[in-house]
């Protein structure tokens, strides 16, 4: 009988991505999203690091459902901004989830930064928490540079301005498959697969 594992998201694309990665790793796990438990409220991200936020969400879900839970937190870290926007990526311009305002503000802040100094990376921390309090955190990074203007219509958030190292396109100019193959979240989820195998058998 497969183990049920819950992922702290209502985003079905994210659920499908992790489900595929666990399947490739040969794991017999039934993965469901948080929408399978609509009575459980979303957990506020009050941590000061990506790992803290991922653990907060994973532990809260594991406690509420009695199931092993996975959660992730990710964002954009800009070298010349000492790693900002970081955990504030989704609300950099003030309002949570206003991608366009966040993008415009960041480009304005970097308007006088020359190309050699526009290094940045997407970062993801993924956490697995068990109902008994056991926890593990893994990380993924997608290194790149920031364009001076958005390009591409795929993806979301800062995808239109991050150009991965070795690429001539931004993340928003790639197909979902191309992006998932190199993405920070894809890397973190792939690193999580052996952890799931180890802790859930």
> Where exactly are the structural domains of the chain?
3-200
Hey, how many other C-beta atoms are within 10 angstroms of the C-beta on 153? 9
Is 73 one of the catalytic residues? yes
| pLDDT value, residue 32 | 96
What's the pTM value of the predicted model, to 2 decimals?
0.93
Higher pLDDT, 3 or 119: 119
Which residue is catalytic, options 28, 42, 72, 73?
73
- Whether the per-residue pLDDT at 184 is higher than 80: the answer is yes
- Whether the per-residue pLDDT at 1 is higher than 70: the answer is no
β strands within 92-189, DSSP E: 119-129, 135-146, 162-164
- pLDDT tier for residue 13 given thresholds of 50, 70 and 90: confident
76 forms beta bridges with 122
| pLDDT value, residue 156 | 86
- Whether the per-residue pLDDT at 130 is higher than 90: the answer is yes
| pLDDT value, residue 81 | 98
Q: Give tens-digit pLDDT for 78-123.
A: 999 999 999 999 999 998 889 999 999 999 999 999 999 999 999 9
| Mean pLDDT, residues 151-178 | 94
| Mean pLDDT, residues 60-68 | 96
- Tokens, residue 11: 């985003």
State the virtual CA torsion across 104, 47, 143, 196 in degrees, nearest 10.
-140
- Whether the per-residue pLDDT at 196 is higher than 70: the answer is yes
Mean pLDDT of the chain: 94
Q: Return the H-helix or E-strand segment holding 69.
A: strand 69-78
| Mean pLDDT, residues 176-185 | 91
With tokens 């469901």, the residue in question is 32
- Whether the per-residue pLDDT at 2 is higher than 80: the answer is no
Please give the CATH number for the structural domain made up of 3-200: 3.90.950.10
| Mean pLDDT, residues 41-57 | 94
């Amino acid at each position: 009988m497969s183990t049920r594992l819950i992922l702290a998201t209502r985003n079905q694309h994210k659920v499908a991505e992790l489900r595929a990665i666990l399947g490739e790793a040969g794991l017999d796990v039934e993965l469901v999203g948080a929408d399978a438990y609509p009575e459980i409220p979303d957990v506020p991200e009050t941590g000061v690091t990506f790992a803290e936020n991922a653990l907060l969400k994973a532990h809260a879900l594991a406690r509420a459902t009695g199931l092993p839970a996975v959660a992730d937190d990710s964002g954009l870290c800009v070298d010349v901004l000492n790693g900002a926007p970081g955990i504030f990526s989704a609300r950099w311009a003030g309002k949570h989830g206003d991608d366009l305002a966040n993008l415009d503000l960041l480009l304005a802040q970097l308007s006088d930064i020359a190309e050699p100094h526009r290094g940045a990376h997407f970062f993801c921390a993924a956490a697995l928490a068990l109902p008994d309090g056991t926890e593990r955190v893994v990380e993924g990074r997608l290194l790149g540079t920031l364009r001076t203007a958005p390009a591409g219509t795929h993806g979301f958030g800062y995808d239109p301005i991050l150009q991965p190292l070795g690429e001539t396109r931004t993340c928003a100019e790639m197909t979902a498959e191309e992006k998932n193959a190199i993405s920070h979240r894809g890397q973190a989820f792939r690193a999580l697969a052996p952890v799931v195998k180890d802790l859930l058998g």
